[in-house]
Amino acid sequence: MEKSCFKKIARYGLGAFLVVAGIGHLTFARKEFQAQVPDWVPIPKDDTVVYSGFAEIALGTALLLARGKQRATAGKIAAAFFVAVFPGNIAQYTEHRDGFGLDSDGKRLARLFFQPVLVAWALKSTSKRK
């Protein structure tokens, strides 16, 4: 398979993942996402989940539709978003909060190692390099 085709599939996959996750924030997984909001966030947990859901839908849509230079920009913004929400994953681990089947410290710890994968996925699937 040609590398540009693989990158396109990877970008579309990440975009679709973000749109579905964003919809989940607003509907079927709202309570689960609240487990990832640290207590120190200064706005209500539900509001945080809703706002991040809208952000994920927008980012996913941008990854699906962006062209040219905007594609790399969308990837960088998505990567920055994944970095920005990482403290929520850390809080879920350190505060021993269950959510999305992460019902043990081992599972929550393993989840932390997936965040860099998301960052790399966003950057690699949108880079200008072939």
**Tens of pLDDT along 22-37?**
999 999 999 989 988 9
> Residue 75: inside a domain, yes or no?
yes
How far is 44 from 68, CA to CA, in rounded Å? Answer: 38
According to DSSP H, which parts of the chain are helical?
A: 3-26, 30-34, 45-65, 69-94, 105-112, 115-124
Question: Which residues constitute the domain of residue 35?
Answer: 3-124
Mean pLDDT, the chain, integer: 94
> Residue 45: inside a domain, yes or no?
yes
- The number of folded domains in the chain is 1
Query: CA neighbours within 13 Å on the CB side: how many for 103?
Result: 2
The pLDDT of residue 130 is above 70: no
> Residue 115: inside a domain, yes or no?
yes
> Residue 129: inside a domain, yes or no?
no
- What mean pLDDT is predicted for residues 95-116? 94
The pLDDT of residue 2 is above 80: no
The pLDDT of residue 96 is above 70: yes
> Residue 32: inside a domain, yes or no?
yes
